[in-house]
Amino acid sequence: MKIFITGATGFIGGHFARRMAGNGHEVICGGRSPAKLNSLPKEYNPVRIYLEHKETISRVLKKEHPDIVCHAAALVESNSLENLRRVNVDGTKNVLDACLAFGIKKVIYVSSVAVISGNKEVPLTDDLPYKATNAYGQSKAEAEKVAIAYRKKGLKIAILRPCIVYGEDEPHALHILIKWLKQRTLPIFGEGDNKLQLVSVENVVDVMALCLSREEAYEGTYLIADKEMLSVKELFYCITRAIGAKSPIHVPRIFVELFVKLPVIGRRASFFLKDRTYSIGRIKEKLGYVPRVSTCDGIKKAVLSYGKGR
């Protein structure tokens, strides 16, 4: 199969590109940064695209005519709704417009659990209403609505919603965490017994690969998570052991309420005070998803890969 991947110079798109190329598919790797594109092997067919400029995407689709487009590019680390909308919403429209124009039938769209994470239900399920808690989540929700509108125009679009993704070469949080833990100790607020669920990039890529052969992928939306729902305490011990850092310390409940009122750090801390779990019943039933990588093993592998490059 010939697969065009946007965001192939990024974390998830890069893992998907390597898996697909390794499985004998022909990949065309779309990215923005010349340095990252130049570091890709020639047989990955690196190509520079800007989501904001439809012609850069149209040119690739017209020339290559892939069997499937995987749209994994997005602006992730920004608080500006205007910038997020330009890349994530208008950019998704540009990708899907180009697909329609050049007769590409199938698209895998990497959305995010952030589109529903403001709902109070535990665990979160696929059918909850859109409720984002930040500008990024709002832009991803608007982009999903765009994708659903293009389904009505005839495109088959698999909408995947990973929760927080970890793995080898994870660029958003791992380096900060490792640096932080070199000097400090991870605090566990209260008993640390609320539950968290993450997802290994390997498991996400397994689902993306399932989309190549499962027609059911192109109906509905699919939350993706590991099978384990670990307590904050279990997760933090797993992380510190993997990094070889000091064991976490427990912060007694009476200090927690004061701590979460602090600017920035308080908001970050309060993330760990809520259950954040996801139902993966639908994706298991409809796509046959089996979470292959367990959270603790996956985190260990990610930490070991840190700083090694590819």
Ligand X SMILES: NC(=O)c1ccc[n+]([C@@H]2O[C@H](COP(=O)([O-])OP(=O)(O)OC[C@H]3O[C@@H](n4cnc5c(N)ncnc54)[C@H](OP(=O)(O)O)[C@@H]3O)[C@@H](O)[C@H]2O)c1
Choosing from 11, 236, 237, 289, the residue that interacts with ligand X (CB under 6 A) is 11
Q: Which stretch binds ligand X (CB under 6 A): 3-11, 39-47, 244-252, 278-286?
A: 3-11
Choosing from 1, 19, 39, 50, the residue that interacts with ligand X (CB under 6 A) is 50
Residue 167 binds to ligand X (criterion: CB under 6 A): no
Consecutive H or E run containing 67: none
The amino acid that residue 51 corresponds to is L
Return the number of the residue (128 or 251) whose C-beta is nearest ligand X: 128
CA distance 76 to 137: 9
CA dihedral of 95, 98, 103, 104, whole degrees rounded to 10? -20
CA distance 196 to 300: 17
Residue 209 binds to ligand X (criterion: CB under 6 A): no
Q: Which residues contact 305 (CB under 8 A, 6 or more apart)?
A: 168, 169
Choosing from 17, 20, 49, 69, the residue that interacts with ligand X (CB under 6 A) is 49
Return the number of the residue (190 or 280) whose C-beta is nearest ligand X: 280
Helix (H, G, I), strand (E, B) or coil at 136: helix
Minimum CB separation of residue 106 from ligand X in Å reads 17
Structure tokens, 86: 């330009």
DSSP state of 248: P
Residue 190 binds to ligand X (criterion: CB under 6 A): no
Q: Which stretch binds ligand X (CB under 6 A): 7-15, 17-25, 125-133, 241-249?
A: 7-15
Q: Are 213 and 274 in contact (CB under 8 A)?
A: no
Binding pattern to ligand X, positions 262-301, x when CB under 6 A?
Answer: ----------------------------------------
Residue 61 binds to ligand X (criterion: CB under 6 A): no
Size of the site for ligand X (CB under 6 A): 28
Choosing from 36, 85, 274, 286, the residue that interacts with ligand X (CB under 6 A) is 36
Q: Are 224 and 287 in contact (CB under 8 A)?
A: no
CA distance 161 to 115: 8
Residue matched to tokens 């290994």: 200
Binding pattern to ligand X, positions 80-119, x when CB under 6 A?
Answer: -------x----------------------x-x-------
Considering only CA atoms, which of 165, 231, 237 is closest in space to residue 202?
165
Residue 18 binds to ligand X (criterion: CB under 6 A): no
Q: Are 84 and 92 in contact (CB under 8 A)?
A: no
Q: Are 44 and 27 in contact (CB under 8 A)?
A: yes
Return the number of the residue (164 or 273) whose C-beta is nearest ligand X: 164
Binding residues (CB under 6 A) for ligand X: these are 7, 9-13, 31-33, 36, 49-52, 72-76, 87, 110, 112, 140, 162, 164-165, 171-172
